[in-house]
Structure 1
Amino acid sequence: MGTTNNIPTIRIAVVLTADSSLHSSLLAIEPFRAANRLSRQSLFSIDFVTPDGNPVETTLQIVVRPTASFGSDRRYDLVLIATSYEPSSAFKEQLFPWLRRQARFGAHICGIDLGPLLLAECGLLKGYTATSHWTAIAAFRDHYPNVTVVEQLFVIDRGRSTCAGQVCILDYSLCMLERYAGKSLSEAVSNELVYMNARSGDGPQRRFVGEWHWKWNPTLSRASEIMNNALEDPLPIGIVASMCHVSLRELQYLFKRHLQRSPRDFYMELRLNRSRELLLYSCLNIREIGLACGFSAESTFFRAFRSRFNKTPQKFRESFNNAPISRDGRRVY
Structure 2
Amino acid sequence: MGNPYTVALILLPGFSLFTLGAVRAAFTVANEVEGDAVYRLRQYSPEGEAASSQCGLSLAAEALAGLNLEQPGLLLLIADERIDERLSMAARHQLGQQLRSLGQDGVWVLGASGTGAQVLAQHGLLDGYRAAIDWQLLAEAVQHYPDTAFVPGLYELDRNRITAGAGAAVIDLILHWLGKRHGSMFAAEVALVLGLERLRGGDERQPVPASAQPAVGSIRLKEALELMATNLAEPLQAEDIAQLVGVSRRQLERLFRQHLDTFPSRYYLELRLKHARRQLKQTTLSIQQVGLACGFASGSHFSTTYRNYFGCTPREERARHAMPLVEAYKAGEEME
Q: TM-score, normalised by structure 1?
A: 0.77
Deviation at 1:151, TM superposition (A): 2.5
Deviation at 1:92, TM superposition (A): 1.6
Q: Is the 8 A contact 2:142 2:150 kept in 1?
A: yes
What SS class does the counterpart of residue 195 from structure 1 fall into? coil
1:76 aligns with one of 72, 75, 83: 72
Q: Greater CA deviation, 65-74 or 27-36?
A: 65-74
- Distance in 1 separating the partners of 2:159 and 2:227: 31
1:66 corresponds to = 62
Give CA-to-partner distance per residue, 1:189-231, whole Å, 9 cap, x none. 122222223322222322354634466353x456557766596
2:24 corresponds to = 29
- Distance in 2 separating the partners of 1:305 and 1:68: 41
Relative to structure 1, the CA distance from residue 92 to residue 240 in structure 2 (aligned partners, 3 Å threshold; closer, same or farther) is closer
Which runs of 5 or more residues in structure 2 are unaligned?
A: 326-336
Identity %: 27
Relative to structure 1, the CA distance from residue 232 to residue 80 in structure 2 (aligned partners, 3 Å threshold; closer, same or farther) is closer
Does 2:97 align with 1:97?
yes
Deviation at 1:160, TM superposition (A): 0.9
- Distance in 2 separating the partners of 1:51 and 1:167: 24
- Distance in 2 separating the partners of 1:141 and 1:83: 19
1:329 corresponds to = none
How many residues align structurally? 316
Give CA-to-partner distance per residue, 1:269-292, whole Å, 9 cap, x none. 344345456656887654465456
The residue identity in structure 2 corresponding to 1:98 is: Q
Which runs of 5 or more residues in structure 1 are unaligned?
A: 325-333
Does 2:33 align with 1:38?
yes
Q: Is the 8 A contact 1:29 1:173 kept in 2?
A: no
Q: Greater CA deviation, 67-76 or 40-49?
A: 67-76
Relative to structure 1, the CA distance from residue 57 to residue 272 in structure 2 (aligned partners, 3 Å threshold; closer, same or farther) is closer
2:234 aligns with one of 213, 232, 235: 232
Q: Is the 8 A contact 2:291 2:302 kept in 1?
A: yes
2:203 corresponds to = 202
Aligned Cα root-mean-square deviation (Å)? 3.6
Q: Is the 8 A contact 1:49 1:67 kept in 2?
A: yes
- Distance in 1 separating the partners of 2:246 and 2:67: 61
- Distance in 1 separating the partners of 2:92 and 2:323: 21
Q: Which has the higher contact order (CA 8 A, sep 6+)?
A: 1
1:134 corresponds to = 135
Q: TM-score, normalised by structure 2?
A: 0.76
Q: Is the 8 A contact 1:14 1:47 kept in 2?
A: yes
- Distance in 2 separating the partners of 1:18 and 1:249: 46
Q: Is the 8 A contact 1:131 1:164 kept in 2?
A: yes
